[in-house]
Amino acid sequence: RFGNQTLNYRLFYDGKHFVGEKRFESIHDLVTDGLITLYIETKASEYISKMTTNPIYEHIGYATLLREKVSRRLSRTKNESRKASVTSEENTPVEKITSLVRRAALTQNDNHFNYEKAHNFKVHTFRGPHWCEYCANFMWGLIAQGVRCSDCGLNVHKQCSKYVPNDCQPDLKRIKRVYCCDLTTLVKAHNTQRPMVVDSCIREIEARGLKSEGLYRVSGFTEHIEDVKMAFDRDGDKADISASIYPDINIIAGALKLYFRDLPIPVITYDTYAKFIEAAKISNPDERLEAIHEVLMLLPAAHYETLRYLMIHLKKVTLHEKENFMNAENLGIVFGPTLMRPPEDSTLATLNDMRYQKLIVQILIENEDVLF
């Protein structure tokens, strides 16, 4: 009974009792959580409906200075010779620095590349009292009280997550690998313009492989390519891919192609895929070029910058066509399916679009100085 009324509910069980996304070990926990939720929603419904109208999220400039003080203190404690220079202002407990504060500090970094990124929210169970970092209100319930961004650690109510802007600043400690990681997440976490794999591999290829016959077409040993992948996942931008370790440049080229294939969202994103294919079908060359340019402007900033840098590199590859036998058309055949994939995993759609995928990359290479 609740509020002098008898309420009846259908219960669900599949090894655990569950209601929506909440899963409970016992029926007692389910009922307790339900009563808490009913009480809050009954007694504070008007307040809950107004929680998001005056968020604290947009007014956190004070946090920047606080984070900088703690960062300086932490860096100095790592160097015993500088312990004496720690001031009283730098004694703020690290435990009080929330993910919201970290985000504020990082967004103020002068060297930060301002790429927009949506938060990756997932339902989360908080241990102990927690407050929403968007509206500053209590997060109630026994389990699944709210959501947490798995990339930056921001904690908010599920309903508040709809209003949080796309300003996620991923925390490096939450990024476990380089390959198979979202492109924008990776570059924001490492504060770089482009993924380190792209920069490192292209730098190595341009230093010693532009004249290599069949560059990007000839495959390197799969086992060695996997070694390069593991090196980047383990060591990041310190991965050693020099000629002394990998004398075959096709291994480095293969590792670069593998990085693009492993992206959860391709460089040419799912959202823009159909528009690129339609642009490729335009018969008038000038109109086609204009259409491709318009679609390029729809790419996320990190994707655009990565694609631009790659096309500049591939144009350099074509300048050595007499030695490497790789012109823009051949490179389009190689990179078309690597850089763009249809949103739905349909073999028929992929086969039908292959010639347009090739054409798009070919045009991007041939006109990189105009399109980017």
Residue 287 φ then ψ, to 5°: -65, -35
**pLDDT value at position 81?**
40
Quote the CA–CA distance of 71 and 107 in Å, as a whole number.
Answer: 15
Select from 256, 296, 260, 258 the least CA-distant residue to 280. Answer: 296
Rounded to an integer, what distance in angstroms lies between the CA atom of residue 97 and that of residue 87? Answer: 18
Could you tell me which of 145, 150, 118, 119 has the C-alpha nearest to residue 132?
145
Burial of residue 251 (CB within 10 Å: 0-12, 13-18, 19+) is: buried
Q: What is the pLDDT of residue 113?
A: 62
Neighbours of 305 (CB within 10 A): 21
231-238: Cβ within 8 A, 24+ apart: 232/178, 232/179, 232/196, 232/197, 232/200, 232/259, 233/177, 233/178, 233/179, 236/178, 236/190, 236/196, 237/190, 237/196, 237/199, 237/200
CA atoms within 13 A on the CB side of 24: 20
Alpha carbon distance, N-terminus to C-terminus of the chain:
66
pTM over 0.75: no
Closest by CA position to 269, among listed 118, 103, 107? 118
Measured distance CA(236)–CA(226) in Å, rounded:
15
**pLDDT value at residue 186:** 95
One digit per residue, the tens of pLDDT, for the chain of length 372 reads: 666 777 676 777 777 777 767 777 787 777 777 777 777 777 767 766 766 666 766 544 323 333 443 344 344 444 444 444 444 444 444 433 444 444 444 444 444 466 888 888 988 888 888 888 888 888 888 778 889 998 888 999 888 888 888 888 888 888 889 999 999 999 998 989 999 999 999 999 999 999 999 999 999 999 999 999 999 999 999 999 999 999 999 999 999 999 999 999 999 999 999 999 999 999 999 999 999 999 999 999 999 999 999 999 999 999 999 999 999 999 999 999 999 999 887 777 778 899 999 999 999 999 999 999
Domains and CATH numbers, the chain: 62-174 (3.30.60.20), 183-371 (1.10.555.10)
C-alpha distances (whole Å) from 213 to each of 256, 291, 313, 316 are 17, 34, 16, 14
Spatial separation of the C-alpha atoms in residues 321 and 330, rounded to whole Å = 10
Q: Is 123 helix (H, G, I), strand (E, B) or coil?
A: strand
Return phi, psi of residue 22, to 5°.
-90, 130
Quote the tokens at residue 57.
């999220």
Give the pLDDT of residue 56. Answer: 65
* Count of beta carbons in the 10 Å neighbourhood of residue 365: 24
**Contact predicate 224/248, CB 8 Å:** yes
The enclosing H or E element of 146 equals strand 146-149
C-alpha dihedral over 245, 197, 307, 206, to 10 degrees? -30
Length of the chain: 372
As given in the structure block, the two tokens for residue 30 are 């389910």
How far is Cα 126 from Cα 144, in angstroms, rounded to an integer? 7
Buried b (16+ CB within 10 A) or exposed e, 15-37: eebebeebbbeeeebbeebbeeb
Angstrom distance (rounded) from CA 363 to CA 361: 5
